[in-house]
Structure 1
Amino acid sequence: MEIYQTEEQQVEAIKGYWAKNGMTISAGIFLGFAGFIGFNFYQDNQLEQELAVSDSYQTLMEQSATDAKAFTENGEKFISENGNNSYVSLTALALAKESATHKDWTQVEKQLTTAIESAPTDGIKAIASLRLARVQVQLEQYSQAFATLNNNLPEAFTAAIEEIKGDAYLQQGKKDLARNAYQTAIAADGIATSPSLQIKLDDLAQVITLPTTKKVVAEPVVTESEDK
């Protein structure tokens, strides 16, 4: 490193450095400043968009309680226009619930599938998956239901998963598998959220059949007097 002995030498050195590198430094400062402004603008724009989507979602939820038809139409539109937004999954769950009241199971499956695919968290994905599996069991789509339940759901949902599996096995007449599934659900503290689990298991209690005893008929005793 060079050592400058006088202020004049320092000033001349600064002038020379600025003459060689001033344009690059200025450009860097300008780009940095522009980037800062652009980033803040981007953040503000994103925030405005999020608030607008949030307001639209809130309006939809209010509409769902007063005008089911308009809610369904606007809900579908909301999903198509906000495919990557976290509110899409919640809207799809609400639409599925509305379709279920009309027993429109095709729409229920469609909306729950959308909720799963767009879920922003594993928890919402699991809730949508459990609801879809229950519908599939009700429609006797057992293989699809098991595939839905085996889709890497969080361990916290083990009890609910096993209970639905038990229901599917029971409807198929597979009582041993149903019993095992219900026992696994109870072991995972499932009774805390589904008290009927114990009733389901009790209904499957094995009936112990005692072996049938063969009736023994005593042979008549023949005495000497009778023999004669």
Structure 2
Amino acid sequence: MAYDLEEQEQLADLKAFWNKYGNVLTWVLIIALASFAGYNFWKSHQSSQAADASVLYEDLNKSLTDKDNVKVQRIAADIESKFGSTAYGPMAALVAAKAAFDANDLKTAKTQLQWAIEHGNDEYKAIARLRLAGILLDEKAYDEGLKVLAAESPAQFAGSVADRKGDILVAQNKLADARTAYLAALTAMDERSPGRKLVEVKLESIGGTVPAVTVKPAA
């Protein structure tokens, strides 16, 4: 069917536009589709990874229960190398650190905790730092322990961090500083926290005074 003059002009404009921008639009479409496909593949891959990692993690916990530190470390290394980008990575590192600590293998315990600090989210990092500081306290590496605790942690760990800091300061015989740390721990802790009573005992044992608990009026 023949085109009239106006249709011919529109067709010519369309051809000119396509000749100028057609390749660009095609590549934009290809990139968009590739990104979408890649995202779907990534989600599928992540789901598959999590499923595979969970099986290994179950074996890891079983080995921990069996007190088989060698097997725990082997499985943890496998999880960290293959699934380190998932939450199972730092979780495995924390379990492996506990197994190594229980086996008196402090070097491995510290290595696993450091891995969790370097690869975990803020919560896992905070837990790993607290445990690492505890080991350094046992090793009398006091300054190193305080340095580990100096890193920023989520607010919910403030009480535990201050408590552990107080323990290290007591070991250094810096009792005034330790009392300040324990008071900071009590301030940060919930009144119903199970660890609160222990902090109060430690504070009183070095000459500190436990602050009175303010009773909040009923709403």
Using structure 2 for the length normalisation, give the TM-score: 0.80
Q: Residues 190 and 110 (structure 1 numbering): CA distance in 2 closer, same or farther, change over 3 Å?
A: farther
How far has the Cα of 1:36 moved from its partner? 3.1
Distance (Å, rounded) in 1 between the aligned partners of 2:52 and 2:102: 23
Distance (Å, rounded) in 1 between the aligned partners of 2:200 and 2:15: 85
Moved more, 150-159 or 125-134: 150-159
How far has the Cα of 1:65 moved from its partner? 3.2
Deviation string 1:172-203 (CA, Å, 9 cap, x unpaired) is: 22222222211221122266241211111121
> Which residue, 198, 201, 212 being the options, matches 2:200?
198
Q: Secondary structure at the match of 1:81?
A: helix
Q: Residues 70 and 49 (structure 1 numbering): CA distance in 2 closer, same or farther, change over 3 Å?
A: farther
Q: How does 1:139-218 map to 2 (within 5 A)?
A: 139-189=139-189, 192-194=193-195, 195-205=197-207
Q: Residues 22 and 65 (structure 1 numbering): CA distance in 2 closer, same or farther, change over 3 Å?
A: closer
Moved more, 122-131 or 15-24: 15-24
Q: Secondary structure at the match of 2:4?
A: helix
- Gaps of at least 5 residues in structure 2 are 209-219
Deviation string 1:140-197 (CA, Å, 9 cap, x unpaired) is: 1111111001112233322111111111111222222222211221122266241211
Contact 1:57 1:91 in 2 (8 A): no
Q: Residues 94 and 113 (structure 1 numbering): CA distance in 2 closer, same or farther, change over 3 Å?
A: same
Q: How does 1:63-82 map to 2 (within 5 A)?
A: 63-67=59-63, 68=68, 69-82=70-83
- Aligned residue type for 1:196: L
Contact 1:179 1:204 in 2 (8 A): yes
How far has the Cα of 1:30 moved from its partner? 2.9
Contact 2:183 2:203 in 1 (8 A): yes
- The residue that corresponds to 1:43 in the other structure is 39
Distance (Å, rounded) in 2 between the aligned partners of 1:165 and 1:202: 16
Pairwise CA RMSD: 2.2
- Aligned residue type for 1:12: Q
How far has the Cα of 1:100 moved from its partner? 1.6
- Aligned residue type for 2:38: Y
- Aligned residue type for 2:100: S
How far has the Cα of 1:66 moved from its partner? 2.8
Identity %: 21
- The residue that corresponds to 1:116 in the other structure is 117
Contact 1:122 1:154 in 2 (8 A): yes
Deviation string 1:16-50 (CA, Å, 9 cap, x unpaired) is: 11232223444344323322331222112212321
Contact 1:190 1:197 in 2 (8 A): no
> Which residue, 11, 19, 33 being the options, matches 2:15?
19
Aligned residue pairs: how many? 199
- The residue that corresponds to 2:94 in the other structure is 93
Contact 1:122 1:153 in 2 (8 A): yes
Using structure 1 for the length normalisation, give the TM-score: 0.77
- Gaps of at least 5 residues in structure 1 are 1-6, 207-228
